[in-house]
Structure 1
Amino acid sequence: MRTQLFNQYILQHSSGAFAMALQMLRSREEAKDVMQDACCALLRQARLPEDSQQFRMLLYKVVRNKAIDRLRALKVRQSDSFAEHEETLALPVSFSDGGGNPEAQIQLQQQMTLLKTALSQLSAEHRDILLLKDWQGFSYAEIAEILDIEPGTVMSRLHRARLAIREQMARLDEDCE
């Protein structure tokens, strides 16, 4: 039963956790290795949460910690630009296709490019919190548990991250005009 529940939860939550590892490591192979290490670590635990949401939080926490360990081991410095690694930033956001309007599609593509560039210019702590809250849908308490920080710290960092992303988007938009 334990293995069956584990498999069910991994199928439900692994794509988001993999996207986080990919965003952190900027390497598909390294992200796959981290996911495998995280799954092995979870299987070695004596008790796993029976609740899907609790398992999801634990999975993200383990994946994040394993990715940080991998970055330290590889002594990888994150690039200042996502341009080299554009496919690694998986933003699970759905946009309308502009109703087949080519101008709307071009504008949408430009906005996505601006967003990726703005995200790349955030600090890692702000980017992590923004992605966990706004793209992965975690609550403040869940993010606090994943990142081992206080919920108040999550709220203040999220606020600063949102301000920074707005400023970056405005600055980048001005530069494009």
Structure 2
Amino acid sequence: MDNVVDQNVNQVVDLRNGFELPLLLFAGFRTIIDELHAELARQGHPEARPAHGFALQAIGPEGATASEIGRRLGVSKQAAGKTVDRLEALGYAERVDDPGDARRKVVRLTPHGLDLLARSAAVFEQIRGRWAAALGEQRLRELEDGIARLTGPTGFRLDAAGWFGG
């Protein structure tokens, strides 16, 4: 970013390059996520990774099949199955018989997985509070509202993890 002095009004004009906006937004995202995971590790979830959060959200409170999880994450059923295998190994999810169809398995969150989600929500609130203290609550709300307006009602999609992976 370069600062230029406008000779006519003796005012500093901040020139920003278009490519900087996505980098700044990503840096903010990365800062929040890194802080979240450092705190989750201190609170008993050292194995939690950002992709796990997307997957746990895709499973949801009612549970989901591997196919549903794959669709929600934008990955194949096989990739979703591998993710579920990892979540199972970590104790965050479990496969159970589908009460409506004995041929299917449903993935459910375990108490350990629900604990991770609850702690994540609390830590996100703490981080947001610090950002509000640093920027001012009104300024942060305006930033959030502006981004929400630009991204629309479907701005957040669970398939972000799959999108990052290519």
Q: Same fold (TM over 0.5)?
A: no
Which structure dedicates a bigger proportion of its chain to helix? 1
Query: Which entry has the higher C-alpha Rg, 1 or 2?
Result: 2
Which structure dedicates a bigger proportion of its chain to strand? 2
Taking structure 1 as the reference length, the TM-score comes to 0.29
Taking structure 2 as the reference length, the TM-score comes to 0.31
